[in-house]
A = this chain, B = another copy of it.
Amino acid sequence: MTADLAGLKETAEFLANRDNFYILTHQSPDGDTMGSGFGLCYALRKAGKKANVLCSDDFPKRYSFMYEGYEPQKFTPETIVAVDVADRKLLGTRLNGYADYVDLCIDHHVSNERYAKSLLLYPDASATCEVLFQVLTEMGADLDKRIAECLYTGIATDTGCFKYANTTKLAHIIAAELMEQGVDIERINREMFDIKSKARLKVEQYINSAMEYYLDDKCAMAAVTLDTIRKAGLAQEEFEGIAGMSVQLEGVQVGVIIKEKDEGKFKVSMRSASDIDVSAICAKFGGGGHVKAAGCTLEGSLSDVKLRLLSGIAPEMGIDLWLA
């Protein structure tokens, strides 16, 4: 199916004319799908409509401020809207059955698979919440503190708190408008960016202590084996986003985290903090990704995996390993 590309006005009219909404969020929900899901749900309810937010996974506790006091309403769904769901597969097992019946998808992922009947896609937006804010403005929706906190969280989490290159001018302008509603940015940002679990701190400490430096200290590399994970009691689920740690040291151009998935099989995450294209390096090993963030999978002994990676990275730094 190829989605009809919708504009802001059409989308606003569609939402205004329909009722009994199921709002679908993606599995492993993040701040943007949660924020756009609940932000839209509350705005629709304020407009006198019935709406629920659905997810294949439980709503994570860290976003509990979004769904405190939220109760699913009872009604027969008439309108299915997906928010921040780029691909029907991301609906997950519980919501998979709705994939063919999505009336509208609101998204910012350029990779959107166009599975919905109608698609409002702003690929240059920093977050789906940035797109949704414009829809709600077009609808003349009555924002309040809770809706504003949902939308703010989506924008803040997708931009690393306005830190990453994907941050748009509009993201800042919308943040200013949302702050008018009394968003508690200090509490939200602390919870989203500063607070860590004991298990996460342990993983970070391990990664820092395991970091090795190669190629004139321009390449940082840390490896975690199954044996280490067992012995050090590291929590598997706390490794998310750990690859960024490999490029935090000044002067490091390429950072690598090697994680043993199965005995002798290593998942490699590579990051660039320079002009070096790590997707090109990972492609040498059958992997791929983006210029600044890529990955590949290698098999063999850990020391050979490291050696192969370094021999692939060195030439990109203009370093000839055959010369002393």
Q: Are A163 and B193 in contact (CB under 8 A)?
A: yes
Question: This chain: how many copies in the complex?
Answer: 2
Stretch of A12-20, A184-192, A258-266 contacting B (4+ beta carbons < 8 Å): A184-192
Instruction: State whether the Cβ of A198 lies closer than 8 Å to any Cβ in chain B.
Output: yes
Stretch of A39-47, A138-146, A164-172, A310-318 contacting B (4+ beta carbons < 8 Å): A164-172
> What is the chain B residue whose CB lies nearest that of A252?
B195
State A67–B302 Cα separation when bound (angstroms).
45
Q: Which residues on B sit within 8 Å (CB–CB) of A235? A: none
Instruction: State whether the Cβ of A180 lies closer than 8 Å to any Cβ in chain B.
Output: yes
Select which of B179, B190, B197 is within 8 A of A249 by beta carbon.
Answer: B197
Q: Are B175 and A180 in contact (CB under 8 A)?
A: no
Instruction: State whether the Cβ of A216 lies closer than 8 Å to any Cβ in chain B.
Output: no
Select which of B164, B179, B198, B248 is within 8 A of A201 by beta carbon.
Answer: B248
Within 8 A of B (CB), among A180-238: 180, 185-186, 189-190, 193-198, 201, 204-205, 208-209
Interfacial residues, chain A to chain B (CB-CB below 8 A):
161-165, 167, 169-170, 172-173, 175-177, 179-180, 185-186, 189-190, 193-198, 201, 204-205, 208-209, 244, 247-250, 273
